[in-house]
Amino acid sequence: MSTHETELMLKGYGLTTAELYYRMPDYRNVLNSFVWQEYDVAPDYPRLFKFIEFWQEKIEGPLHSVRFTHRKMIRPGEWRNVVGEFPIH
């Protein structure tokens, strides 16, 4: 995990995973899926909606549906400053 990702998580970002189902441009009866992951802020999801807008403007395959989940990687109760170690052996 990079320092940039850790900084985002400490600022309240969580990992958003979206599965986009879209119709193939040449075969409208065929559905295909695309998985997208990015750090985003709930509940507004600005990066997810920006990507969906990009898809609708630039990609030929029209969207059928989008499923997504969001998980904060660091929660306030899970983060603590550790000052020492206790070696066992």
Give the domain ranges of the chain.
3-71
The pTM (predicted TM-score) of the whole model is 0.77
Tell me the percentage of the chain whose pLDDT exceeds 90.
Answer: 63
Q: Is the pLDDT assigned to residue 74 strictly greater than 80?
A: no
Q: Would you place residue 34 in the very low, low, confident or very high pLDDT band (cuts 50, 70, 90)?
A: very high
Q: What is the pLDDT of residue 9?
A: 85
Q: Is the pLDDT assigned to residue 12 strictly greater than 70?
A: yes
Q: What's the CA gap between 46 and 39, in Å, rounded?
A: 10
Q: What's the CA gap between 76 and 14, in Å, rounded?
A: 13
* For residues 35-56, average pLDDT: 95
